[in-house]
Amino acid sequence: MSRNLALELVRVTETAALASARYMGRGDKNGADGAAVEGMRLAFESIDIDGEVVIGEGELDEAPMLYIGEKLGTGNGRKTDIAVDPLEGTSLIAKGLPNAIAVLAMSEKGCLLKAPDTYMKKIVVGPEAKGCIDIDDTVTNNITRVSKALNKRISEITLIVQDRDRHKDIIDEARAIGARIKLFSDGDVASAMATCFEETGIDIFMGIGGAPEGVITAAAVKCMGGDMQAKLNPLSEEEISRCHEMGFTDEKLSKVLYLDDLAKGEDVFFAATGITSGDLLKGVVYLKNDKAKTHSIVMRSKTGTIRFVEAIHRLDKNSIMVDLMDKYKNI
């Protein structure tokens, strides 16, 4: 894939972020998500790829855009799998909270797991703790091994986990051994990615979240040289049936999914743009005279390159944004 493709993908997440950021704090998560979806889809139209959405906004009858199986790009380039979350953290932007992002991952055809819309148990660490995690082991043993790998005391290890009742056992066990805990409300991808950047102070991610988000997370972790394990974890009979319909037998549901099971291939791309400011990315800032500033990250596994991109956009000169601004002029 072309080196220039990385910057093309950043333009896609930038457009989604710019479109949805106008909804910050307005309490309209569906409106924000719809704007992000539309912006991302329009931005894809000019990219020379023959892409197919494998992780998207739903099935064809459930979402008008970016549905699973939808074709993206001009159709003239290399065949690719694409995983998208135009607005990860719909509740975050509705409430004006940190860490809402526009995010996507892309790889060669057949290289991203077609994960069912169900829950997934996940554990993630950065490059220095690679090989130290075991999703079937205890919280205590995982944290202990990570502390040794990082040359930190357990009392200096920070675990990030979503603030949900289903994670009570994880939180209780981590507290019992003296680990530090950071809770987050929403936004699996951004929180898991934080483990791969030392300056965030986050050492390990554990918990149960969305399986589609798990695949996108895996793409980012692979690009950054971190480590991840996962298991599909349906929480209802309906979710179990959904897994079976997508070819996941009971035997497959019990298997550990390693990083290459989630995102394999030699050329994985990941891009994200901040919508509201968080630990890793700054949010969209609207400036005077129809200008806006964005902060993004783009990565490629083949080269190991990680780029942070700050951009100033002239919204009145960008044809996509002109169309979107006209449509959402009352927002």
- The pLDDT, as a whole number, for residue 171 is 98
Given a cut of 50, the residues of the chain with pLDDT beneath it are: 1, 60-61
Q: Is 33 flagged in the annotation as binding?
A: yes
Classify strands 285-287 and 291-300 as parallel, antiparallel or unpaired. Answer: antiparallel
- The pLDDT, as a whole number, for residue 251 is 83
| pTM assigned to the model | 0.92
The C-alpha atoms of residue 233 and residue 255 are separated, in whole angstroms, by: 11
- The tens digit of pLDDT for each residue in 137-191 reads 999 999 999 999 999 999 999 999 999 999 999 999 999 999 999 999 999 999 9
Q: Is 108 flagged in the annotation as binding?
A: no
Q: Is 89 flagged in the annotation as binding?
A: yes
Q: Is 207 flagged in the annotation as binding?
A: no
Q: Spell out the SS3 assignment of the chain.
A: CCCHHHHHHHHHHHHHHHHHHHHCCCCCHHHHHHHHHHHHHHHHCCCCCEEEEEECCCCCCCCCCCCCCCEECCCCCCEEEEEEEEEECHHHHHHCCCCCEEEEEEEECCCECCCCCCEEEEEEECHHHCCCCCCCCCHHHHHHHHHHHHCCCHHHCEEEEECCHHHHHHHHHHHHCCCEEEEECCCHHHHHHHHHCHHHCCCEEEEEEEHHHHHHHHHHHHHHCCEEEEEECCCCHHHHHHHHHCCCCHHHHCCCEEHHHHECCCCCEEEEEECCCCCCCCCCEEECCCEEEEEEEEEECCCCEEEEEEEEEEHHHCHHHHHHHHHCCCC
Q: Is 26 flagged in the annotation as binding?
A: no
> Residue 287 forms beta bridges with which residues?
291
- The pLDDT, as a whole number, for residue 61 is 45
Task: Name the nearest CA neighbour of 219 among 272, 281, 168, 262.
Answer: 262
What percent of the chain has a predicted confidence (pLDDT) above 90?
78
Task: Name the nearest CA neighbour of 13 among 78, 66, 79.
Answer: 66
Q: Is 188 flagged in the annotation as binding?
A: yes
169: number of Cβ within 10 Å: 9
Q: Is 239 flagged in the annotation as binding?
A: no
Q: Is 90 flagged in the annotation as binding?
A: yes
Q: Is 85 flagged in the annotation as binding?
A: yes
Which domains are assigned to the chain?
A: 4-109+266-328 (3.30.540.10), 119-262 (3.40.190.90)
Q: Is 316 flagged in the annotation as binding?
A: no
- The tens digit of pLDDT for each residue in 1-16 reads 455 788 999 999 999 9
Q: Is 28 flagged in the annotation as binding?
A: no
